[in-house]
Amino acid sequence: MLIWETTATSAKALGALAARASGAAQCLVREDKAGSFIFCEAGDAPKDVLEKQVTELFSAGRCGPGAGPWVFRVGLWTPKDWRSEFCAWYSFEHGPILLECPDWEGFQFFEAASAAGCQFYAVHYLADRAALDSEWRRLSRSTPWFKRLARNKWFDGPFERVLCRQRELRSDRRSALTA
């Protein structure tokens, strides 16, 4: 799977990018209007688009275009020797607690190649952006396991967090995105 990062936000520009994708494509426009992400199976990104090849490690709940209008994308980096514990925490504790929230539809957890350490991307699907301020999210960040991981300088604070809205791509993806 590929993640294309672009500064484009207009329907016309995103439609042109989506036309370069092959297979299923999903478009996420950053809520801060600083750009967009396109998730696709394959394609030919232009030079001005940052392309990241990722592999899905695990997922839970409902994911993809029909899973909810809001998407919370988190970029997470860990040292290599923390990879197993970090993935176990996310898969067996953090993710399941979040999914107890009625507005947390699901999540996907991806890994990308990294020259140093491990680079992950979590993509959370939300029915309502209020899920980010929910009791379940607070609980998921207050467990003994979370606190043990939080003793590391690389954990939590440096993670990149971006709130996005899904934008439906036209089925033919030839010219533009639907409103």
pLDDT tens digits, 81-124: 999 999 999 999 999 999 999 999 999 999 999 999 999 999 99
Mean pLDDT confidence for 164-176: 61
CATH number of the structural domain spanning residue 64? 3.30.70.100
**In this structure, are strands 2-6 and 21-30 parallel, antiparallel, or unpaired?**
unpaired
pLDDT digits (tens, 9 = 90+) for 2-52: 999 999 999 899 988 989 998 888 999 999 999 999 999 999 999 999 999
pLDDT digits (tens, 9 = 90+) for 113-145: 999 999 999 999 999 999 999 999 999 999 999
- Residue 171: the pLDDT is 43
Domain-embedded: residue 99: yes
Domain-embedded: residue 158: yes
Mean pLDDT confidence for 138-164: 97
In terms of residue numbers, what domain contains 114?
2-167
What is residue 129's three-state secondary structure? helix
Whether the pLDDT of residue 172 is over 90: the answer is no
CB 23 within 8 A of CB 41: yes
Domain-embedded: residue 14: yes
Amino acid 49 reads V
Q: What is the DSSP letter of 66?
A: T
- Residue 176: the pLDDT is 35
Domain-embedded: residue 102: yes
**How many structural domains does the chain have?**
1
